[in-house]
Chain A
Amino acid sequence: MAIITYREALRQALEEEMDRDKNVIVMGEEVAQYNGAYKVTKGLLDTFGEKRVIDTPITEEGFTGVAIGAALAGMRPVVEWMTFNFSIQAMDQVFNNAAKMLYMSGGQINVPIVFRGPNGPAEFLGSQHSQALASIYAHFPGLKVVSPATPYDAKGLLKSAIRDDNPVVFMEAELMYSWEGEVPEGEYLIDIGKADLKKDGSDVSLITYGKPLRIVLEAAEQLKKSGVDAEVLDLRSLRPLDEEAVLQTVRKTNRVVIIDESWPVASMASHIGWFISKYAFDDLDAPVELVTSEDVPMPYNHNLELAAQPSVEKIIKAVNTVLYIKEA
């Protein structure tokens, strides 16, 4: 298997799907001539031309709506939002049009579209540029929401998202673009809605998705040294959620920590916490713990910004809590 970056995995998925289906187009700010603000669309303009790789003005609501209009008429646009922070301007189009068109039309009009870009904090970017918005997107019926954490998942899930007949919100992360991982040479797809068991364990379940996976695995390593055998479940998809995989790991370890870089209130993490308490209450040996971002806008100062986010230390602390281990 080849070792490639997360960025390259996304690029390959786009290239292969554009090759395969002429209805696939890419649209967004700086995606064509500049090769993408984060270079995910590098080379696509050269390969497919400006008819299919389209630079837009800075008009998130407008071009997102245009893409939705093209999708419901039969095209398969991939909209790149330079970052999800700017998608907030496009939310009306996504929530009121893309997510509801099929339902409102009594099943007549579906919207095969992908909205993708980097989500969540990077570094030193301050409040308006460091927002993890998965919970908001996952709130709306009529959308699929995926958040791959490895190059392998990024490629397989993006290809599936492009072929999906529904609107798919596809969440990446600026800091993940340079992460490397193994990706098979040939074509493959990953089903949307399937979690991935990253590490077997028996003492506690660490459930996460997206960028925090890396620190979760790091925490699991450290826990091993102190004799705690943690299981790590990467959800990969938030909607649909792999509920069976969640229940399975809970039944196995009886203790759960959910790690989510979103804010804690009305979040993916709080939803899963409720789901477990409802459907696996008798399997729990301790209340579910959440490790989320602190309930504040992101500060610029680096110490503060690190303190605002999930960390290895916070995860280990939460694990100790659910294991009733008193820290020295």
Chain B
Amino acid sequence: MKKDIKKYKPELLKKMLKQMLLIRRFEERAAQAYGLKKIGGFLHLYIGQEAVAAGSIANLDLKTDYVYTAYRDHGHAIACGMDINSLMAELYGKATGCSRGKGGSMHFFDNEKHFMGGNGIVGAHIPLAAGTALKIRYNNEKGVVLCFFGDGAIHQGSFHETLNLTKIWNLPVVFICENNQYGMGTDFRRVSSVDDFSIMGQSYGIPGKQVNGMDILDVYDEVGEAVKRAKTENTPTLLEIKTYRYKGHSMSDPARYRTKEELEEYKNQDPILILKSILLENNVMTEEEFQNLDKGIKEQVKASADFAEQSSEPDLNSLYEDVLV
């Protein structure tokens, strides 16, 4: 698979590879910490899907643009440039966490970096993304809102209501359905009237497209197009990005509803390995540089776990803080 990669700046390619690696190593570490009971509750891992968050968000200027996603939110938070120390500390429930230990895995937030969470109710954040786009349009700002959600969420009324609203009000939103094939244990084909989600835009006069989410350059290009359209024409877009989660839905799910072969098939088109081999083939990076990069990231991730471990628990008085401003 030969790609013309001259159109991408080497720094961009390296940055995207680095981000995907960082997401993966961060989550591997989180899974370990979960096994040691440092982290509790739901931990939804993004491993396998890294190209979607990293490739999409690479198109944004987070001074003007915004990101919304659901509870599988570590990858998007990292791609928005959040400090992984604050993310790991949040998983550990510590006061130094990005949500002061009150949110946990599903509720990462960074208002300054325009990462708006981290929502635990399937489909509930989709209208919020449009509302933020309304603000952008109201003030004649340059921004766009990326709204990520799953194949399970696409049947919610909130999705369909919001598509219509963004079209009639010309709101700059890019809807990104991360179709990782399963909503919990349910194969998306079992609960959908159509197999191709991208056509759902048509009912609302919104352009739609399917994208290969294992190839970060495809993701980058297609989201880039949609972002441009949103910023110049105030038109929403629906993208169905086909991807795969390697782990179970959350830590307690053994994922018996799929075959080993299916999992292997996707691991063979691993987004990190694909981009890595493109970079090596095109002499953007050497194997040694890659190994050093990975080593550095592993150290960074370990340091985040140490930071989380050493951070203090939230003060009991904080229980009654943040209820109202």
Contact = CB atoms under 8 A, between A and B. Distances in A.
A124 interface: yes
7 contacts: A34-B186, A58-B152, A59-B156, A122-B41, A124-B39, A124-B104, A307-B319
A33 B319 contact: no
A34 B257 contact: yes
B319 to A, nearest CB: 5
A297 B153 contact: no
Contacts of A57: 152, 155, 183, 186, 191-192
Interface string B95-110: 0000101111011000
A37 B314 CA distance: 32
Contacts of A55: 186, 190-191
B205 interface: no
Interface stretch (B73-81, B120-128, B166-174): B120-128
A126 B194 CA distance: 34
Contact of A58 (B183, B257, B320): B183
Given A59-B155, A125-B42, A303 B104 contact: no
A297 B104 CA distance: 13
Given A125-B41, A126-B120, A296-B319, A30 B184 contact: yes
A207 to B, nearest CB: 26
Contact of A294 (B40, B90, B190, B319): B319
Contacts of A58: 122-123, 152-153, 155-156, 183, 191
A33 B40 CA distance: 27
B320 A294 contact: yes
Interface of A: 29-30, 33-34, 37, 55-59, 61-62, 85-86, 88-89, 122-129, 294-297, 299-304, 307-308
Contacts of B35: none
B316 A126 contact: no
B218 interface: no
Given A57-B152, A296-B323, A302 B192 contact: no
A300 B153 contact: no
> Which secondary structure dominates where chain B touches chain A?
loop
A86 to B, nearest CB: 7
B318 interface: yes
Contacts of B318: 299, 304
Nearest to B101: A301
Interface string B283-307: 0000000000000000000000000
Contacts of B39: 124
A55 B186 CA distance: 9
Contacts of A37: 184
A61 B313 CA distance: 39
B320 A296 contact: yes
A322 B281 CA distance: 78
A30 B185 CA distance: 7
Given A34-B186, A55-B190, A304-B102, A128 B316 contact: no
A62 B104 CA distance: 30
Contacts of B99: 300
A317 to B, nearest CB: 16
Contacts of A56: 191
B93 interface: yes
A128 B103 CA distance: 10
A16 B99 CA distance: 47
Closest CB pairs A-B (n = 3): A124-B41, A124-B40, A300-B104
A302 B313 CA distance: 9
B157 interface: yes
